[in-house]
Structure 1
Amino acid sequence: MFAATQMSTEPDLDPGQFSKIVDIFEYAFKNYADMPAFSCLSHTISYAELDEHSARFANWLRESSGLKPGDRIAIQLPNLLQFPVAVVAAARAGLVMVNTNPLYTAREMKHQFRDSGVKGVVILENFCDKLESIIKETDIECVVVTQLADMLPQPKRLLMNLAVKYLKRMVPSWSIAGAVNWSDALSSSPARQPAPDSGTDVAIVLYTGGTTGLAKGAMLTHSNLVHNMMQLREVSKPLIRDGSDIIVAPLPLYHTYAFMFHCLAAVYAGNHSVLIPNPRDLDGLLKTLKSLPRINGFVGINTLFLAMSRHKDIGQIDFSQMRFTGAGGMALTISVAEEWQRVTGCQVYEGYGLTECSPVVSVNPHHKVKIGTVGPPVPGTEVKTVDDDGKDLGLNEKGELWVRGPQVMKGYWLNESATADSITEDGWFKTGDFAMIDEEGFIKIVDRKKDLIIVSGFNVYPSEVEEVVNSHPGVAESAAIGVPSEKSGEGIKLFVVRRDNVLTIADVTAHCRENLTAYKVPKEIVFVDDLPKSNVGKILRREIREQELKQH
């Protein structure tokens, strides 16, 4: 087992100074009132404005919503200014947040709302038709509806909202009795009141990706989040300047990684987060980057780094003042990390985390980055690898990664059996990921346990195959899965997205044979136009595998 160093006791890194996440927000309002807090759609709000808007909404939630402290409220929004306002207001009203993917289908919404027992929801009007179809099957009593430009000044607000609704026709018709307009809710008094006792230590319920059946809700306590924010701050502090840095936020705030970084850590540091509503619109993203006075930080994932690096206009962006790029959410490939550094001149600091760990477990330190690893555990965190029987393995041995620390969740919402399966009696969380830990404590994630392919009794890790394949200059990205084989139990099938049509299957096979042991060489290779991905850009091997199994 490798044990990380203990939590720093520097005064500003003491988690004990905050008992709830609302204390973090109040700290920021006191220390950074005149500083810019968040920008979106070319409009910026200061910390003082975030304070006032959230105080108004919090008072409305207390007095007019029908919700009581401890009730769950879903926030189903893309990266808009409304998101941080809703987060701070919910915390001030003593509510438990349930971040919800705005692109969920009605079926997925119903599962999450019913499972978490949400009684209120803040939702973008574009998705209200889905909510209408399932709301009677939930406990939702309070619906606050916002339009895309509701936080912008007039007349831009009116013009943009009309364009979205009537010119672009992005808002399906809907009807929900008693729904309240966002602007009406924010017309309440801005009087500040102490946050009431919610009756629970749970601050937020975040749902896992659900790649193995229905998603489960991870209960993250105030203590979990405060400790993890301090852990993240300690490793990132040498790269971030308090009260001045501009950090680009293309990852969705409902995702645990972006939520921790932009809604907590960056707020505590008085940073300015630039919210990107749709990072898939690369032209729009680069246009936003061009408009910024400077870029000091960028938080993204492998697929976004790759797409941006190869955009025709990337050379027009000034990255000269960018000190860090944070990577998480999915594995960072060596070739993409190197290409991003060539294009931007900025090192990528890859980390590792899980929703159940608030989410940060490890980060590559600024003074020593080992590309291909996710760094050592953050302060106050222990990690170890174990075999199938739960017995500790030595350094540089592949095994399931277990984590213990103050950021490990309380458990899964209303799911004691899943909690017992995931957390040992002495507090170790079983990540389900295979990893190796080296002599310096750096962690290398080998693969997801469930993605393991067994060929004639030999273990094959898809990420290793993909790393080799992706290093070929003619390959854009790839995915390897196991498919049934009468001869070897499982065979490896590889799906490849080409950079151009010159690449052949023979080229890929030859490249694999040069770099992989024979049993790791894919027996079947197919070219595809694209690969299915989650809304945060992860390649969904599960979805590919399910389609293949149906054909078999």
Structure 2
Amino acid sequence: MLERAAAHRPFLPVSTPGERTADRVLQWAQWQPHAPAVSDDTRALSYGALADAIYAVAGQLRAEGLGPGERIMVIGENSVALTVMLLAASQCGVCAVVENVRRMPAEIAGILAHSLPRKVFVIGASAEARRHAEVLGADPQHNTALGDFSVAVPSNAVSAATSDDTGPMPDDIAIIIYTTGTTGQPKGVMLTHSNLIFIAAMMRALRHLSPRDRVYGVLPATHVMGHASVMLGALHNGAALHLVARFDAARCVATLTAQRITCIQGAPAMFASIAAYCRQQAATEAGGSASGRSAGMRCFPDVRFIGSGGAPIDATIKADAEALFGCELQNGYGLTEAASICWTRFDDANTDDNVGPPLPGVETCLRDSAGQTVGDGEVGELWMRGPNLMAGYFRNPEQTRRVVDAEGWFNTQDLARSLPDGRMLIVGRTKDVIVRSGFNVYPLEVEAALNTHPAVLHSAVVGRSVPGNEEVVAYVELAAAGSADAPALAAHVAGLLSPYKRPAEIVIVPALPLAANGKVLKSQLAQVCGRPDHATQQTGDRT
């Protein structure tokens, strides 16, 4: 059965009852039909043209019997077509299970089996899109609104009228985003229209987005920050959104100038790459070395807002970004289950990596392991409740009850400390998750992939901090008769894991350190690796 999280949600007049995420975009089409709305490297639509495309695709969905209570899966990457598809699904009340085209087919298969959509839409004609279409047996199609796309009808498709454990989707569920979680099993996070509209409204209230802005959209719209803060944040506030499928520092720098971008959000690693590229360019033009720091002048005079999320901000990256863009690098904190819990504010002097105070209408508290509120300045587990909290995990009411209590408080499982003025510092994680380039990597999932190799006895995966990011490091003990090296293991998991989940380094060890109960002592792995006879082998995969 579907079960919703306990919903103690302080009221904020940011959405109206029954409002869908597409509605305000369509309103802007009436107010400013000729203003630029969304573009990518091949297409650009005004708000009026965007509305026409949304209505056209929504009509096609309805003609195929898709409407309120139904689920579809949408596989794609940032593009005008993906935006049109997601807003069209919203406009006709269809819940979209959103997936990045860079997911591996094996991962998509698991999510498909759990989400049971009526149809699967693969957007675009990239190599990855063609691969998914082929695996799914999708039929290629083309129309003016979406361009090239493919449609598949899964063998296990379930309609809203089917009487099974799914039932029809509640009308207010806009999207489902899957996160594998610490259990290694996929969890479908159900996000409502009001969840997403709340974040878009905060982009207006706290980031001052307006029709004067031009937004750089590189964060994937298939993930919550890219979907709510970037895509909807721009289009709900009348701004122009330029979408980029994949980050490249050189192309980013060129686009920021050519498009006169005013707002850009990304993971800290992205800002590090931009700064490094600009240093290299400055050194090349000067005929000198690239070893110095960034030039102390503003290189992008149109940019007024830069925002980071998904990982702690390194002090050097923060300083470089602020020197380069001439404005403070704003920070934020959230999860798929509760996007954007805390944001820094423009008026605060944020000299450290605090994530700011909670958003208006969002409540937070810090508790110890016994569930008691910790004292001022003490570290505790961060709990929250508010209008951004998910409706629950799809087809997983037990897991929903584990993380959301009867009063609507959600356990983030992250450790934090509150500053005297209410700003939050995230100091650690109680869950064993690695944040790589803004994406969550769960060790159990990587370990499971490694352990499928016949030469592997067992493995342990940990995170390693690097400036502005974390890397995935795997320690592997081979079976007695096993014969494999790091490159062979890297090649093996390449077909099972998305690039950001693959280990940047694989270490072959004679034996993993174990406790009496057989659990790997991960705290001792670095010590084991440090022994001279335990050689480290690089895989070279650092995407």
Q: What residue is the counterpart of 1:300 in the other structure?
A: 266
Distance of 1:495 and 1:56 partners within structure 2: 60
1:96 paired with 2:77, answer no
State the one-letter code of the partner of 2:262: N
Shift of 1:525: 11
2:217/2:231 contact within 8 Å kept? no
Which digits, 9 at most, give the CA deviation of each residue in 1:44-79, with x for residues without a partner? 21111100011111111111x242432111221111
State the one-letter code of the partner of 1:213: G
Q: What residue is the counterpart of 2:245 in the other structure?
A: 277
Which digits, 9 at most, give the CA deviation of each residue in 1:213-266, with x for residues without a partner? 0221111122222233323432212xx3x1121111111111100100233221
2:182/2:432 contact within 8 Å kept? no
Q: What residue is the counterpart of 1:490 in the other structure?
A: 523
1:218/1:412 contact within 8 Å kept? yes
Q: 1:377 to 1:199 in 2, by over 3 A?
A: closer
Q: What residue is the counterpart of 2:118 in the other structure?
A: 119
> Which residue, out of 140, 159, 172, partners 1:201?
172
State the one-letter code of the partner of 1:420: R
> Which residue, out of 289, 314, 321, partners 2:256?
289
Q: 1:452 to 1:127 in 2, by over 3 A?
A: closer
Gaps of 5+ in 1: 1-5, 137-141, 162-170, 180-196, 454-461, 497-504, 506-523, 534-552
Q: 1:323 to 1:489 in 2, by over 3 A?
A: closer
Distance of 1:394 and 1:255 partners within structure 2: 35
Q: What residue is the counterpart of 1:331 in the other structure?
A: 312
After TM superposition, the structure 1 = structure 2 runs for residues 157-168 of structure 1, keeping only pairs within 5 Å, are: none
State the one-letter code of the partner of 1:288: T
After TM superposition, the structure 1 = structure 2 runs for residues 180-191 of structure 1, keeping only pairs within 5 Å, are: none
1:364 paired with 2:364, answer no
Q: 1:53 to 1:176 in 2, by over 3 A?
A: closer
Distance of 2:229 and 2:183 partners within structure 1: 26
After TM superposition, the structure 1 = structure 2 runs for residues 80-479 of structure 1, keeping only pairs within 5 Å, are: 80-123=79-122, 124-125=124-125, 126-127=127-128, 130-131=131-132, 135=136, 145=141, 200-208=171-179, 210=181, 212-237=183-208, 240=209, 242-279=210-247, 281-292=248-259, 294-311=260-277, 312-313=280-281, 318-357=299-338, 359-370=339-350, 371-451=352-432, 466=465, 470=467
Identity %: 27
Distance of 2:203 and 2:429 partners within structure 1: 24
Shift of 1:112: 1.3
Which digits, 9 at most, give the CA deviation of each residue in 1:430-483, with x for residues without a partner? 111111112111111112213499xxxxxxxx99x94xx749xxxx97678998
SS at 2:524 equivalent: strand
SS at 2:431 equivalent: helix
Distance of 1:198 and 1:452 partners within structure 2: 30
SS at 1:396 equivalent: coil
Q: Judge which range, 115-124 or 524-533, deviates more.
A: 524-533
Q: 1:495 to 1:397 in 2, by over 3 A?
A: farther
Q: Judge which range, 117-126 or 299-308, deviates more.
A: 117-126
2:403/2:410 contact within 8 Å kept? yes
Q: What residue is the counterpart of 1:188 in the other structure?
A: none
Q: 1:204 to 1:143 in 2, by over 3 A?
A: farther
1:412/1:419 contact within 8 Å kept? yes
Distance of 1:151 and 1:284 partners within structure 2: 26
Distance of 1:394 and 1:256 partners within structure 2: 32
Q: 1:66 to 1:127 in 2, by over 3 A?
A: farther
Shift of 1:132: 5.1
Shift of 1:494: 9.3
Gaps of 5+ in 2: 1-8, 155-167, 283-294, 435-461, 476-511
SS at 2:523 equivalent: strand
2:385/2:408 contact within 8 Å kept? yes
Q: 1:452 to 1:257 in 2, by over 3 A?
A: closer
2:76/2:129 contact within 8 Å kept? no
2:382/2:412 contact within 8 Å kept? yes
1:484/1:490 contact within 8 Å kept? no
1:78/1:277 contact within 8 Å kept? yes
Distance of 1:222 and 1:176 partners within structure 2: 25
Distance of 2:354 and 2:37 partners within structure 1: 32
Shift of 1:532: 5.1
Q: What residue is the counterpart of 2:23 in the other structure?
A: 23
State the one-letter code of the partner of 1:491: Q
Shift of 1:324: 0.7
Shift of 1:121: 2.2
Q: 1:492 to 1:146 in 2, by over 3 A?
A: farther
Q: 1:7 to 1:345 in 2, by over 3 A?
A: farther
1:36 paired with 2:3, answer no
The structure with the largest helix share of the pair is 1
Distance of 1:395 and 1:143 partners within structure 2: 59
Q: 1:396 to 1:143 in 2, by over 3 A?
A: farther
SS at 1:74 equivalent: strand
Q: 1:352 to 1:78 in 2, by over 3 A?
A: same
1:50/1:85 contact within 8 Å kept? yes
Shift of 1:363: 0.2
State the one-letter code of the partner of 2:242: V
Q: 1:365 to 1:143 in 2, by over 3 A?
A: farther
Q: 1:525 to 1:282 in 2, by over 3 A?
A: farther
State the one-letter code of the partner of 1:85: V
